[in-house]
Amino acid sequence: MRMSQLFSQTLREAPGDTDVPSHQLLLRAGFIRPLAAGIFSYLPLAKRSMLKIESIIREEMDAIGGQEITMPVIHPADIWQESGRWYKIGSEMGRFKDRADRDMVLAMTHEEIVSDLVRKEIRSYRQLPALVYQIQTKWRDEPRPRAGLIRVREFTMKDSYSLDADWEGLDKQYRAHYSAYFRIYTRCGLPVIAVKSDTGMMGGKEAHEFMYLTSIGEDTLMVNEESGYAANREVATIKKPVPANEAALPLEKIATPNTTTIESLANFLNIPASRTAKAVFQIATLSEGDQQREQFVLAIVRGDMEVNEVKLANAVQAIALRPALPEEIAVTGAVAGYGSPIGVKNALVVVDDLIPQSPNLAAGANEAGYHYTNVNYGRDYTASVVADIVAAREGDLDPIKGKPLNAVRGVEVGNIFKLGTRYSDSLNCTYLDKDGKAQPVVMGSYGIGVGRLLACIAEEHNDDKGLKWPISIAPYAVHLLMLPDTFTTEPAERLYTDLRNAGVEVLFDDRDARLGVKFNDADLIGLPLRLTLTKKSLENGGAELKRRDRDEASIVPLDKAVDRVQQVIVDLWSELNQTVRSNVTL
């Protein structure tokens, strides 16, 4: 491709509203252009890279038995109502009505649609196992799109769906995806780790996320390399301290003026925060069929710990949580700053599983300026739910070997879910087993965001001059430059033709521009190799060849240039292939 004909242009400066390197560089290098918040056009350079990413994904999906299909972007609402998610998903779902006034949905995922296909196509155990996948457009109306392609509203996703007769089959396909994902990411030049994660709106029994570790990430991950523990903070568990056995002491109400925080209470009583109980007031939105209702939730954790809202929501099966308003707290008989479950009414009480083991805690008396001491679970109050609801923090001990956890930031670039029979049960996806009995199809769901993956690769591979694409997904392998003012263009034209005839992908900068401008644009666009013809290079014996990831350059004779370029491309592929994690197991 000639740059004089390329349908994009480079920018000297990134727009002021860009906040991460990948967003700035993809805009400046002419890969993407914004249309609206979280909605982008992908220009030719980006499209070529994305097609290469998709090709890698297809190869790996096909290698584990996948069959590619395409499902619609527009869905009738009734199938989402049938699964129940119509009532559980909020404003991030794109809802609209067609001309016949029927409710419709813009696809945010395709579990319902593949389930509809399954119940129409799968009849017998002989048709299982099966694996189908697609690369298709999705829409999620994110409230705060950010970081360019990292968090968008419209995006392209590879989503695959495994279909099995039993859980053993699902486990096998889940492990196959786990390994295939590592191959996909390393073939694209992106280092990732896999962490346990929340199943979220997808539902199901188990999930993992594939995370690119970066300071721009929105997710906090809790990891310890020595023990091998890695989990999203939303679901991370810790090795909790075991309190010493104590006899339950008599409950005592004492005056504690101006002690509305755990710190002030602990200081007033001269006790550690671990000897106190912290009350957190939330309003949970609960789904009951096609109806929703709000429920006051009073969560209790030890005073030296924090509530994990995702764990709390899962414990009460809430579709949303929000802080309770002062008037909502007052109705229950609780008092903010002095709260506890003692004496409250119409509250769903949830306590962390460490609380029943923690005797004689100080807790609120639900009266301003007063606390109870020697509060004991079971004697003084009980809970509707006892569960692990604490948030893991840096320095907490991992549950495997009891080693300190590190908190790191990451961007999710893929996920895998064991759906089980969540959708089969609600959408009646069954098959006949060997005995002729109807059984639910056991399903898995697996996703990779293509645009987000492109952005993370750009985030990983760049320097102060621009992008530095891996050979596997670079839009072109070679950037050919010439300076036409000082010599005939014939050598460059001939070299361009020879490279193309040899099957080398070339971006030819044939523009009438200064060499400094061309060098800057070549570094910005970031193709793996730069081949430059100038009067000086010809006087020195040929063309200057330089790898984008190295500082040194060399002169190669024109009649050897094609062979030399092909050899360096082979070297680049070899270096990349040495990093591919082909045998990663769950």
Domain spans of the chain, in order of start:
17-236+406-459, 252-387, 476-577
**Helix (H) or strand (E) segment spanning residue 62:** helix 44-63
Secondary structure of residue 406 in the 3-state scheme: strand
CATH number of 252-387: 3.90.960.10
Task: Looking at the structure, give the CATH architecture of the domain made up of residues 476-577.
Answer: 3-Layer(aba) Sandwich (3.40)
**CA distance linking residue 316 with residue 318, whole number of Å:** 5
Q: Is 129 in contact with 390 (CB distance < 8 Å)? A: no
Write the Ramachandran bin of 38: left for phi over 0, alpha for psi from -120 to 50, otherwise beta. Answer: left
Cα separation, 531 vs 492, whole angstroms:
10
For residue 287, the Cα-to-chain-centroid distance in whole angstroms is 26
What's the pTM value of the predicted model, to 2 decimals? 0.91
Q: In the prediction, which pLDDT does 484 show?
A: 66
CA gap 361, 483 in Å, rounded: 79
Q: How far apart are CA 138 and CA 113, in angstroms?
A: 13
Contact residues for 491 (Cβ-Cβ < 8 A; gap 6+) = 482, 533, 538, 558
CB 424 within 8 A of CB 115: yes
| pLDDT per 10-residue tile (average), the chain, 586 residues | 94 87 96 96 98 98 98 97 91 95 97 97 97 97 92 97 97 97 97 88 81 93 93 94 92 96 96 96 88 93 96 92 95 95 95 97 96 96 96 95 95 96 95 97 97 97 97 98 74 94 97 91 98 89 94 94 97 93 76
User: What CA–CA distance (Å, rounded) separates 430 from 436?
Assistant: 11
Q: Please report the pLDDT score of residue 335 as a whole number.
A: 94
CA 171 to chain centre: 22
CA distance 42 to 577: 28
Stated as kind and residue range, the H or E segment containing 169 is helix 167-187
- Report d(CA 519, CA 523) in Å as an integer: 6
Distance CA 415, CA 30 (A): 29
Instruction: Using CB atoms within 10 Å of the CB of residue 378, give its burial: 0 to 12 exposed, 13 to 18 middle, 19+ buried.
Output: exposed
Residue linked to tokens 């006051």: 296
Radius of gyration from C-alpha coordinates of the chain: 29
CATH superfamily of 17-236+406-459: Bira Bifunctional Protein; Domain 2 (3.30.930.10)
